[in-house]
Amino acid sequence: MNPYLVGLFVPLIFSVVLRKQRKEKKRGVPVEVGGEPGYAVRNYRFTSPVETTHEGVSTIPELFEHSCKLYSDHHLFGSRKLIARETEVSPDGRSFEKLHLGSYDWKSYSQAFEAVCSFASGLVNLGHAKGERVAIFSDTRAEWQIALQGCFRRNITVVTIYASLGEEALCHSLNETEVSTVVCGPKELKKLIDISGQLDTVKRVIYMDDEDVSIELSSAKTKTPWTITSFIEVEKLGHENPVEADLPVASDIAVIMYTSGSTGLPKGVMMTHGNVLSTVSAVMTIVPSIGCKDVYLAYLPLAHVLELAAEAVMVAAGCSIGYGSPLTLTDTSNKIKKGTKGDASVLGPTLMTAVPAILDRVRDGVRKNVDAKGGLAKKLFDIGYSRRLSAINGSWFGAWGLEKILWDFVVFRKVRAILGGQIRFMLSGGAPLSGDTQRFINICLGAPIGQGYGLTETCAGGSFSAYDDTSVGRVGAPLPCSFIKLIDWPEGGYLITDSPMPRGEIVIGGPNVTAGYFKNEEKTREVYKVDEKGMRWFYTGDIGRFHSDGCLEIIDRKKDIVKLQHGEYVSLGKVESALIVSPYVDNIMLHADPFHSYCVALVVAAPQAIENWAHSKGITFSDFEELCQKEETVKEVHASLVKAAKQARLEKFEIPARIKLLSQPWTPESGLVTAALKLKREVIRKAYAEDLAKFYA
Ligand SMILES: *[C@@H]1O[C@H](CO)[C@@H](O)[C@H](O)[C@H]1NC(C)=O
Ligand SMILES: *[C@@H]1O[C@H](CO)[C@@H](O)[C@H](O)[C@H]1NC(C)=O
Ligand SMILES: *[C@@H]1O[C@H](CO)[C@@H](O)[C@H](O)[C@H]1NC(C)=O
Ligand SMILES: CC(=O)N[C@H]1CO[C@H](CO)[C@@H](O)[C@@H]1O
């Protein structure tokens, strides 16, 4: 046969076969379950929920000990040395802290185990009594995990608190759980002392010592009755006076995790060791060949269930965990001193987790960079991008061989270098990732993104998109530890009989479903139900639909649907995600209520784009605040929203009739968005109540 023909046909046949496989691959299958009637799906490979994958292991401390014995000489925890801390002053007089960080210092699994045992013994020596709780209130770092595992070895329940939580919420969570020992970072020590008058049960504080905190220590002496000890002292104390472990059982509460809810005070979700273990075991069956060679970059808040579960998976698999922070992640991150390296470049991670907001930022950064270069560089990038896109779409041309290597080398290598150049798998969770961003990151990093869907209440268990699933916008099939059921929500117009796909409220059941809210029976009974077979179900309030291959797609949120005066339903989240594509918009919150026939929006302006527009129009302004108040600016931004709305085929009543342009960004510190950067609608509504009232005046 003519070799040219072979050369032509072989890839063609391959591409046809691959396409077929891709289409036909089942990932979830319907299953009969108890409880409220609905459409339920389970993971294709597992008929009953997975509880543990390690023989004889039923709790997290057992899993930790198991790994420490198995991987004793491998690196476990890595932290960067601080070389210098500097203050830089920008031209307009504001000062910024810049860090010069060195290479990673590692603790091996066996060293980490020793530190954990010492910390556990140290706690007992300090006088922490049986049955009392410990709170960890700090940024993500190695000591966080050591403290956590130390507590677990003594069957101590750990209360976790977002480092960016407000004062009121902090007092509430520490008081409600009657915490007697708080482990905190140097920054958080000051916050604690400020509110010490309201903390009745706290007796001792353990601070992580890498900064000079002598001022705080002397102020604590006068203001508080607490015993304050440094982390190193506790370890030393425990090392010299070892105490036997007092291990928990699977049904003991491991963590009470306070989630920054979008309304009111935070609620504490009680997770058992069995809950966490079942999620960890389920994820391990899904991430491809994860093992000792892998290096994981940890930087998301450990007080978030996604990060907590991810790090537990890394420990179970024998990976190394290098700690970083969102502000020092890349060479160009805010806190990195110019000319020095960010966490990712130094560590070269192979695995990472991310929340969509961070990936969106990476995408925008790369796009901006490419646009700024212009010319040949931009052309090459665009061609390379579209080639890879059609390759992923199933065309064989450009999928393999020389062409891929060429594009990777010419175009994408530099993008990859931003995150260290070694990433082979990325996990995204916390909120739905836009299809556009998923594709962009997939192509530029050359690594798949697994999208997870889960909640604190389900211990992050839920669904997970398989690494070979190249579709976008979906969150995958149920994890082997979960059953996912859709139930009718007639008021919202979502039914399991809908065609072409069943739709409804998402309800998650399985061993991963947590024990409920701490000291909140009423709320627990409202959203957790146990069926006649004894399975626990959690009612998420999210609306989803199941594709024919058993993969879930999140399409709406129950709470975020508002009925307008004339009876039309507006899905706030859907409209916001359509409008946020406007280049002028940094963030947006749509507001609608049943008393009016139209929507309005609060828009956080994107400074760069709006200033560029103003310059191009010759508009003069003294500061950005003033520019945002100009009528012509508001008009321009509104016009761009209308355009975005038309592109997304929104209904007329979904387009905000009036907008307010805001010059200040919404950050977790301001309390307007959660640590995962989700809008806190109630808080924002309160903060801008006057502006909202004016809209309807
Ligand atoms: C662990 O601690 C809890 C709370 O103090 C207690 O109820 C439980 O019995 C303990 N578990 C074991 C195995 O001792
Ligand atoms: C702390 O909690 C106790 C009960 O757990 C309650 O009686 C008290 O009012 C709370 N104090 C504050 C400051 O919230
Ligand atoms: C990829 O496929 C999707 C849907 O299957 C289509 O909308 C899109 O235009 C395709 N893109 C390219 C570059 O072929
Ligand atoms: C470890 C754990 O919590 N297991 C529970 C999982 O869920 C089943 C049914 O809901 C319970 O019977 C298990 O005790």
Ligand 3 atom 11: the closest Cα is on which residue?
390
Query: Ligand 4 centre and the CA of 612: distance in Å?
Result: 57
Query: What per-residue confidence (pLDDT) applies to 674?
Result: 74
Residue 488 confidence (pLDDT):
94
The pLDDT value recorded for residue 156 is: 97
Instruction: Tell me, in angstroms, the distance from the centre of ligand 1 to residue 248's CA.
Output: 6
393 within ligand 3 shell (Cβ under 6 A): yes
Is 322 buried (19+), middle (13-18) or exposed (0-12) by CB count in 10 A? Answer: buried
Residue nearest to atom 2 of ligand 4 (CA): 274
Ligand 4 centre distance from Cα of residue 116 (Å):
28
Ligand nearest to the CA of 395: 3
Q: Which amino acid is at 641?
A: L
CA distance linking residue 127 with residue 226, whole number of Å: 12
* Ligand in closest contact with the CA of 175: 2
The partner residues of 80 in beta bridges, in order of sequence, read 104
Which ligand places an atom closest to the C-alpha of 473?
Answer: 3
Q: Cα of 201 to ligand 2 centre, how many Å?
A: 10
What ligand 1 atom has the least distance to the C-alpha of 156? 2
Q: Please give the pLDDT value at position 207.
A: 95
* 62, 272, 485, best to mutate for ligand 4 pocket (most atoms within 8 Å of CB): 272
Tell me the C-alpha distance between 392 and 397, whole Å: 10
Distance 369 CA to ligand 1 centre (A): 55
Cα separation, 49 vs 459, in Å, equals 14
The single residue listed with the structure tokens 């990712």 is 344
Residue whose CA is closest, atom 9 of ligand 4? 535
Structure tokens given for 147? 């403290």
The structure tokens 């929507």 sit at 599
Give the ranges where 195-342 is alpha helix by DSSP (H). Answer: 214-223, 231-240, 273-284, 305-317
Q: Backbone phi, then psi, for 404, in 5-degree steps?
A: -65, -45
- Return averaged pLDDT per consecutive 10 residues of the chain, 697 residues in all: 51 49 74 91 84 84 96 96 87 83 96 98 96 95 97 97 78 95 92 90 92 83 90 97 96 91 76 92 81 94 91 95 92 88 95 86 82 85 83 58 72 86 88 80 84 87 81 86 91 85 94 88 92 92 92 84 80 88 92 88 93 91 91 95 91 92 88 78 88 87
Residue pair 491/294 in contact by the 8 Å Cβ criterion? no
Q: Is the CB of 389 under 6 A from ligand 3?
A: yes
C-alpha 250 – ligand 4 centre gap (Å): 9
Q: Is 695 left (phi over 0), alpha (psi -120 to 50) or beta?
A: alpha
Q: What is the DSSP letter of 297?
A: E
Alpha carbon distances (Å) from 229 to 137, 184, 211, 221, 225: 15, 11, 14, 12, 13
Pocket test for ligand 4, best of 33, 51, 53, 62 (most atoms within 8 A of CB): 51
Q: Who's near 196: CB < 8 A, 6+ residues apart?
A: 202, 220, 223, 224, 226
Apex 189 CA angle, 185 and 193, nearest 5: 165
CA distance 170 to 266: 9
Please work out whether the CB of residue 198 comes within 6 Å of at least one atom of ligand 2.
yes
- Answer whether 186's CB lies under 8 Å from 208's CB: yes
Q: What is the pLDDT of residue 326?
A: 87
- 38: Cβ–Cβ under 8 A, 6 or more apart, which residues? 485, 486, 487, 488, 496, 504, 507
Which helix (H) or strand (E) element contains residue 508? strand 503-509
* Pocket (CB within 6 angstroms of ligand 4): 51, 250, 272, 274-275, 511, 534-536
Q: Distance between CA atoms of 103 and 685, rounded to whole angstroms?
A: 45
pLDDT value for 368: 82
**Separation of CA 228 and ligand 2 centre (Å):** 23
* Predicted TM-score (pTM) of this structure: 0.81
Distance of CA 530 to the CA centre of its chain: 28
Q: Which ligand ends up closest to the CA of 248?
A: 1
Backbone angles phi, psi at 254, to 5 degrees: -90, -50
Q: Is 580 left (phi over 0), alpha (psi -120 to 50) or beta?
A: alpha
Ligand 4: distance of its center to the CA of 32 in Å? Answer: 18
Residue of 177, 180, 200 to test ligand 2 pocket, by largest number of atoms within 8 Å of CB: 200
Does residue 248 have its Cβ closer than 6 Å to ligand 1? yes
Whole-number Å distance, alpha carbon 461 to ligand 1 midpoint, is: 25
The CA distance from 188 to 150, in Å, is 20
The pairing of strands 267-272 and 253-259 is: antiparallel
What ligand has the least distance to the C-alpha of 152?
A: 1
Cβ of 201 closer than 6 Å to ligand 2, yes or no, is no
Alpha carbon distance 364, 359 (integer Å): 9
155 lines ligand 1 (CB under 6 A): yes
Which among 157, 164, 165, 167 has a CA at the least distance from the CA of 135? Answer: 157
Nearest ligand, measured from the Cα of 514:
4
- Mutate which of 19, 388, 392, 393 for ligand 3? The one with the most ligand atoms within 8 Å of its CB, which is 393
Write down all domains in the chain, each with its CATH number in brackets: 24-49+354-418+423-557 (2.30.38.10), 60-286 (3.40.50.12780), 564-695 (3.30.300.30)
Q: How far apart are CA 236 and CA 123, in angstroms?
A: 11
Q: Using an 8 Å Cβ cutoff, are 387 and 400 in contact?
A: no
Best CA proximity match to 85, nearest among 303, 264, 335, 271: 335
- Centroid of ligand 4 to alpha carbon of 511 (angstroms): 5
**313-349, pLDDT tens digit by residue?**
999 999 999 999 988 998 888 899 989 999 999 999 9
Mapping DSSP onto H, E and C, the string for 150-205 reads: HHHHCCCCEEECCCCCCHHHHHHHHHHCCEEEEEECHHHHHHHHHCHHHCCCCCEE
Give the span between the Cα atoms of 492 and 324, in whole angstroms: 42
Q: Residue 681 belongs to what H/E stretch? A: helix 681-687
The preferred substitution site among 57, 255, 270, 278 for testing ligand 4, maximizing ligand atoms within 8 Å of CB, is 278
Question: Which residue's CA is the nearest one to ligand 1's atom 10?
Answer: 248
In this structure, the residue with its CA closest to atom 9 of ligand 1 is 252
Bridge partners of 600?
A: 591, 658
Overall size of the chain counted in residues: 697
For residue 230, the cross-strand partners are 207
CA of 317 to the centre of ligand 4 (A): 24
The distance in angstroms from the start CA to the end CA of the chain is 80
How far is the C-alpha of 80 from the C-alpha of 322, rounded, in Å?
A: 8
Does the beta carbon of 390 sit less than 6 angstroms from any atom of ligand 3?
yes
Question: How far is the C-alpha of 259 from the C-alpha of 251, rounded, in Å?
Answer: 21
Burial of 348 (0-12, 13-18, 19+ CB in 10 A): middle
Q: Are 590 and 557 in contact (CB under 8 A)?
A: no
